[in-house]
Chains A and B, each alone.
Chain A
Amino acid sequence: MTDEKISQAEKDEAAYFTERAKAAAAAGSAPAAGPKEHTLFDVQEMELNFGPQHPSTHGVLRLVLRVDGERILEAKPDVGYLHRGTEKLFETETYPMGIPHTDRMDYVAAATNNHAFCLAVEKLLGVEIPRRARLIRVILDELQRLSSHLVWLGTSGIDLGAVTPFWYAFREREQILDFFEEYCGARLTLNCMRIGGLPFDLTQGWTERLSEFVRDLPSRIDDYEQLLTDNRIWKKRTVGVGVISAEECIEWGLTGPILRASGKEWDLRRAQPYECYEELDFVVPTRQNGDTYDRYIVRVQEMRQSARILQQCLEKLQPGEIRGKVPRVIKPVAEEVYASIESPKGELGFYCVSNGSNRPYRMHVRPPSFINLQALPRLAKGHLVSDLVALIGTIDIVLGEVDR
């Protein structure tokens, strides 16, 4: 093929994608099922079980699909295969004993779970957290956000046939897990926060190694983007797939990158800052089309912002206390609070009811994955079964959090 032909083909393709994105955004919903095509056999509809044991469901999610050929007429999620009764367990153990249970909910983002749990109890107690502890918490949160997004990037790439980004993403994730391991001894179930502060101070040389890692990170993210952002196959699989408007996101309770990819600039780190996010300089990335491709872009941009936040936190870090003044036996007043943070997947909230004893009377979790998964039937309607795989990936669910 001559160069002219190639450039013409690229132009045509760019026009095709803009057209497709525009049409999808204008319709504001999934493309309607087209005119009935002639089928070889006279089967119009059938029911199909998707999961619970299927590699692209990211765990034990079962979907009952009603399909017409390859087109999905209806998708009914069936969850609960990983239900362990975490909320019941919280009620039977003291407040500090609840923290390890939170690790097992969103098991690719344990630090943010710990954080939300501790925030709820701290709000109930009215405890002041030392500045160093706040900064280290933010560092751990952002590292966790990076590692969660990297898992998402790798696995959802594999779902759509892009195997290469997985190896790059897990290369950096491995380094992040090493940082966690050095800090608290665990790589996944971190248990790295305590009510009122942190369990440990940072080890010797941790910050230096982290700042080295953070310095290299933008170029690493460039590597992923080089593989996917302008990749024709990736775009064909994601542009215009699963379009949802910001109004509909709010109606369905969708938060996190899904909401931001639909054009609503809402991030709890900015809207209701906790710890020291109000003094940090970062951008809340948004996109307008609200399709799978935009959600990918938003997550990649968030990774870049996380690197910026980490850089700033490392600069601000000063020696000091890492635990606030917390009573030895935690017995909050008989009240109720709701505390939430921006987890990698959306708003993660804990609703804590105390009756004045040393155990929570009721500890309810508002898991972002569970609420976000609810909109999957809406997103999947009218798409092909192969797009469903892209959509499960783009919602970024962790079944441990869905089922708790």
Chain B
Amino acid sequence: MADESKAHEEKKPRPEATDASGHPWVRSIRAAVPDAVVSAKEFAGQVTVVVAKDAIARVARHLKDGEDFKYCVDVTAVDWKDRQPRFDVVYHFYSFSKNDRIRVKCGAADGEEVPSIATVFLAANWCERETYDMFGIRFAGHPDLRRILTWEGFNGYPLRKDFPLEGIDTGAAIYPEEWPDGGGPPMKDPNRKVVS
């Protein structure tokens, strides 16, 4: 596994992903939720299963009840800007009895809704809210889908690849408007700086 040479990067033996469609968990998902599994791979000892978007809640339920993946570690997304569908929603589950993890992914196009797993795993509640906040992916059936890290009314999705690093103009001022002496409505200040 060790990288042997510094000068010749091409010659290094690089770790590669292998096909995992014969893996017992993948077979189990395929048996329980037919037509769900799109592909499966294994890299660095970690199994990744790509499933159909509409089947994700049923797959999560099966993994929890049928395969003993009781602990939902994390929910997040990846933005593949130019790909169709644009987003990957990524779930990590952990099983205490197997002492192993499984990664489940599903694709979602811009504006498409993904079935929520927050009713299957309580832990997924805030994770899905964060994913919605950062990527704008809506989760259908989520009990409380609001922004969590940015504020209500923020009009952007910061972790999308087309969101500029320097931020956007949201109309929030870094210092308040000037107020006239003796009260009254604020004066228009032409030098008022607006940042995201």
Contacts and interface: CB of A to CB of B under 8 A. Distances in A.
Given A126-B15, A335-B17, A351-B76, A87 B159 contact: yes
Contacts of B1: 126-128
Interface string A288-315: 0000000000000000000000000000
Contact of B43 (A328, A336, A349, A371): A336
By secondary structure, the B interface counts as loop
Interface string B6-46: 10010010111100000000000000000000000001101
Interface stretch (B51-59, B119-127, B168-176, B179-187): B119-127
A331 B9 contact: yes
A372 to B, nearest CB: 10
Contact of A251 (B15, B103, B121, B148): B121
B68 to A, nearest CB: 11
A169 B148 CA distance: 34
B6 A337 contact: no
Contact of A124 (B44, B126, B130): B44
A83 B150 CA distance: 7
The listed residue with most B CB atoms (<10 A of its CB), out of A123, A271, A336, A349, is A336
Contacts of B125: 374
A319 to B, nearest CB: 20
Q: For the side of the interface on B, what is the size category?
A: 35 or more
A123 B43 CA distance: 10
B165 A251 contact: no
A340 B74 CA distance: 11
B121 A253 contact: yes
A366 B76 CA distance: 9
Contacts of A340: 73
A92 B165 contact: yes
Contacts of A364: 74, 76, 90
Contacts of B78: 353, 361-362
B191 to A, nearest CB: 26
Given A87-B159, A252-B122, A271-B99, A126 B44 contact: yes
Interface in B134-179: 134, 147-151, 158-159, 163, 165
Contacts of B72: 253
A35 interface: no
B150 to A, nearest CB: 6
A180 interface: no
Contact of B126 (A250, A264, A324, A371): A371
Contacts of B165: 88-89, 92
A93 to B, nearest CB: 10
Contacts of B96: 250, 264, 266
The 3 lowest CB-CB distance pairs between A and B, nearest first, are A253-B123, A80-B149, A128-B2
8 contacts: A89-B165, A126-B3, A253-B71, A266-B96, A335-B43, A362-B79, A371-B126, A403-B149
